[in-house]
Structure 1
Amino acid sequence: MVEQSNLQELKNSLSIKEGKIGLKHTINRKAKLFPFVTRGTERPKFKRGFEGVLGEFTRNICGNTFEGSLEIEDLIDEISKMVNVNKEDQVYLVQILNMVLQHKNGKIKVFHPHLFQYLSLSDGPEMKGEQEIGKFLADVLIEDSTEFQKIFEKQLSHDLISKLILDKLNGLSQIDIQKKYGSKLPFLSRYFQDDFLFLSKYEDYFKTHYELLVSYYYFIYISQLSLKLAQQSKANFTNNNEVYFTLDWEATSKSRKGYGYGYHLVKDAARNLLIHVNILEHLNTLIGTEDSKVYPELLDKYEALSEEESQSFLQLLKQWIIEYRVHSSLPEIEICSESTYSSLVNLLYSSIEEAYQKPSMQGPRNRYSLSIEEIGKKFFLKTRGSLGYMLNVSQDLFLLLTAVCLKNERKSLNQLFIDLENRGMYFDRYSKEEAVKLLDKLNLLDKKSDSGDAQYVKPIL
């Protein structure tokens, strides 16, 4: 509901004091869209891969929390004392438990999906950033978690050693998890859910590719949402923007779509991401929403207002722009009495952008968008000499997405590429040719269809 009190609520959230100049840019109250932080120390650098996020994501799905970390040596000691074996055989039991439970580098070996819940967060300030991403992904990608929780239960194991370990694992506590974020790209969320549930039927493959699947959907979701916010009210939130990847093993050049319509698009959109997040925070508060609406949704809400309410909102928005400029120490401007919703939103954008051009504000603005680049550099970007970073697809990622696109069906090549695009992965014709060569090399192509000309791809799993 549009009320004068909405303006006071916004001023309170930005720490504006009566009779004093100044404000604190505050986000994630009325427009909870990204799990990003503006402090560089809290931004995850993914030195341990996506492991910390994956553990938190899994615990959120299951409604659990885990304090501390899994002490493997203590667990092995406890199990070995419990098992009645000859003294001379004790050393072999410990060796077997070690082999089952941990890699040579000491990291947990996930021999059963239940153990994903024991993957710990990083030490230090990055823990907070990983925790927030895990929460974000569980909120935006999973609707009803009931079916997903079953995947991580302590299912019966026919392997005696595995059963011993699972029986002794403890430390998880059930908590009531409140939803914070809502999906703004529900079509991507639905694809993720379908892919996740399909992959979970193949436990061995799931255990080795769960991290890659979740990290890919995280990267695509935040990239696509950034692109759409940059388009403001013109954005289409029902499908992906075209962003082109190149395959890891192919050569590329400036003439390729992967250069002109690839990561450059995402990076350009990300430069102003914090400005858009601030605008949406302000607009959602002023118009009185509770569910983090984005530009097209806010426009629809405005257009649904009565004549009286719409005029009240425009007056409120004008008043806020004037006050914002005062508290941000920006020059005074005159606002036309006949200003439209669109022109006022643009004026708010230029005002916030002007405030963020100050030297003291450049740091938070740049650090906010780095959250996209950090995950990209870890898994989905490759530097291509003078071309800079380009979106990159490893063979493992291509085959993973191909597997979930096909499920248990034989599909035409054309349909496979459409299904990949539905998941945010676009290829130009050169990349498609390279992809076909790989599928052929792996004997995954049926050379001819019933009609004798089209090519089909066989299920992978």
Structure 2
Amino acid sequence: MTLDKFIYPFNRDLPKDESGVAEKNSLNSYFPLRTNDKPCDWEAVIGLLLQVVMGKRIGEYTIDQFQIDCESGLKEEKLIKNEFWDVLKKMYFDENDILKVSPKMLLFKAKKGEYTPVDERVAEMFANHLLGLQLEDFKIKSNFLEREFLAILDKKLEENKFTSKTELPYLPELTRVIRKDFKFLSIRPKYLLNEFENFLSFYAFIYTSQLSLSLPDWRKGEEPKAKPLYFIMDHERASKERTYLKKYGYQLMSNSFIRLFPMLTMLEMLQPSKSGEETVKVPLWEISRRIQESKFEHLEEHLKQFAFAFKKKRSIPVEMKDANSALDWLGNILDLSEAQFKFGGKKGLHKKYASSVAKIMATPFIKNRGRSGNVLVLNQDYIILLTNLVVGEKDKLRFHELIAAFKQRGIFVDKQTEQELIKFYERIGNVERMSDSGDAVYVRKTI
């Protein structure tokens, strides 16, 4: 398939002047945060995501109305006496403990009008990672009263038709892992209830960090693999001698965030036109792959023209590199996408955006260690969750296999942290040593 449909003409959905360059930088795919977003409400994100995977929505139905319906329903069916309702109300509704009965109850967190656009976009990001995964219901052990509550809720739920974004995953390997791990949690609904927010906040951060680290590898034209990013346990010291933490730690991640807005907004301009046959949005590495496979003879000239037009439109006073191929001109375009924020009214916008991304997505995973500065950490809750997800349906896993699966999920640790992890697993009693040497160490789930 020729690349004129994928690279040129550029995305016609964005407003352009006569040069073909968009008037404004727009970010509508591959990342949910915009320039002025505030932190999302994870409870709302959970409710919105459940709407997608269950195909149901709560609409304008409130938990107060649900309480009234439950009271009248149970009394009409003569399942309870009047005086017993006060006991049930205290047990389930006064402190919203009804939400702990089943993940389905969390649909109330997505009540219409009580969530923000950023909540919707973050939920949509996860829905895209789940690749159309659908759950009919959660198989959860409950008493007969709770089953009645759920039956009453079922009658009030509306059908939710969700159309996912038509974009190829930027990080296919990570997308497959997120889908696999969510399926593991979905058949353990009580555990999902306890860990839903941790699961989402963990993978939102991992996707953010791995996406930003992978963006410069577009020229390879290959699916990105997990990039080294080193963490320690939150109780560990971070001495300057720990070279991996220094080279592949917080600072590397923080610097990578700066390229998110420039490169993703340029990627938006490079997307296929919706007027063509192909409307699926594609990653930069896929654009690179298609360029390399293309026989479209005018592609290099089109990209060259766009580079000069963009440079002129944005008044960017930098010289472009010598270019001898379409890929070289794409490289110049991406360099210009970053350079535009070093001059004029947009100066520093990419850094402000990066700072906002760090606050919203990365705060739970960053700690200051005095002279060692900021480091990336995992607390015990995240470690236990990650361990359970990695071991999955197996009874136990060799420690070195566990570490390999951590890496697949964007978590790298040095030898010192490996030893701290083993000590931690021993303290909570889910490790087996098959030899005194420690070569054969197995880790079990905690659930």
- Per the TM alignment, residue 412 of structure 1 is displaced from its structure 2 partner at its CA by 1.8
- Per the TM alignment, residue 159 of structure 1 is displaced from its structure 2 partner at its CA by 0.9
Contact 2:259 2:350 in 1 (8 A): yes
CA distance in 1, matches of 2:21, 2:433: 71
SS, match of residue 457 in structure 1: strand
Residue in structure 1 matching 2:92, options 86, 92, 97: 97
Contact 2:50 2:104 in 1 (8 A): no
- Match for 1:64: what amino acid? K
Residue in structure 1 matching 2:34, options 37, 55, 73: 37
Residue in structure 2 matched with residue 163 of structure 1 by the alignment:
147
* Residue pairs, 1:208-219, within 5 angstroms: 208-219=194-205
In the comparison of the two structures, how many residue pairs are matched? Answer: 436
Cα shift readout 1:89-131 (whole Å, capped 9, x = no counterpart): 44223223326x615xxxx63321212322237978x710110
Q: Does 2:251 match 1:264?
A: yes
- Per the TM alignment, residue 196 of structure 1 is displaced from its structure 2 partner at its CA by 2.1
Q: Which runs of 5+ in 2 are unaligned?
A: none
Structure 1 stretch displaced more, 228-237 or 127-136 = 228-237
SS, match of residue 158 in structure 2: strand
Q: Does 2:54 match 1:65?
A: no
* Residue pairs, 1:50-61, within 5 angstroms: 50-61=42-53
* Residue pairs, 1:380-459, within 5 angstroms: 380-407=365-392, 408-449=394-435, 454-459=440-445
Residue in structure 1 matched with residue 130 of structure 2 by the alignment:
142
- Match for 1:261: what amino acid? Y
Q: Which runs of 5+ in 1 are unaligned?
A: none
Residue in structure 2 matched with residue 228 of structure 1 by the alignment:
214
- Match for 2:99: what amino acid? K
SS, match of residue 143 in structure 1: coil
CA distance in 2, matches of 1:6, 1:437: 53
Contact 2:63 2:108 in 1 (8 A): no
CA distance in 2, matches of 1:385, 1:397: 23
Aligned-residue Cα RMSD (Å) equals: 3.3
* Residue pairs, 1:339-354, within 5 angstroms: 339-354=324-339
- Per the TM alignment, residue 157 of structure 1 is displaced from its structure 2 partner at its CA by 5.7
* Residue pairs, 1:326-345, within 5 angstroms: 326-331=312-317, 339-345=324-330
User: TM-score, normalised on structure 1?
Assistant: 0.83
SS, match of residue 57 in structure 2: strand
CA distance in 1, matches of 2:311, 2:85: 73
* Residue pairs, 1:290-309, within 5 angstroms: 290-306=279-295, 309=296
Residue in structure 2 matched with residue 282 of structure 1 by the alignment:
269
CA distance in 2, matches of 1:87, 1:22: 66
Structure 1 stretch displaced more, 88-97 or 282-291 = 282-291
- Match for 1:65: what amino acid? R
Contact 1:279 1:349 in 2 (8 A): yes
- Per the TM alignment, residue 151 of structure 1 is displaced from its structure 2 partner at its CA by 4.2
- Per the TM alignment, residue 189 of structure 1 is displaced from its structure 2 partner at its CA by 2.0
CA distance in 2, matches of 1:63, 1:358: 47
CA distance in 2, matches of 1:211, 1:454: 34
- Match for 1:15: what amino acid? P
For the structure 1 residues 109 and 158, does the alpha-carbon distance in structure 2 shift closer, same or farther, using more than 3 Å as the test?
A: closer
Residue in structure 1 matched with residue 340 of structure 2 by the alignment:
355
Contact 1:226 1:273 in 2 (8 A): yes
SS, match of residue 147 in structure 2: helix
Residue in structure 2 matching 1:115, options 85, 88, 105: 105
For the structure 1 residues 320 and 238, does the alpha-carbon distance in structure 2 shift closer, same or farther, using more than 3 Å as the test?
A: closer
CA distance in 2, matches of 1:403, 1:5: 41
CA distance in 2, matches of 1:206, 1:352: 41
- Per the TM alignment, residue 302 of structure 1 is displaced from its structure 2 partner at its CA by 1.3
SS, match of residue 279 in structure 2: coil
Cα shift readout 1:401-442 (whole Å, capped 9, x = no counterpart): 111212223222211111211211111111111111111112
- Match for 1:400: what amino acid? L
- Match for 1:276: what amino acid? M
Q: Percent identity?
A: 22
Contact 1:80 1:93 in 2 (8 A): no
Contact 1:51 1:121 in 2 (8 A): no
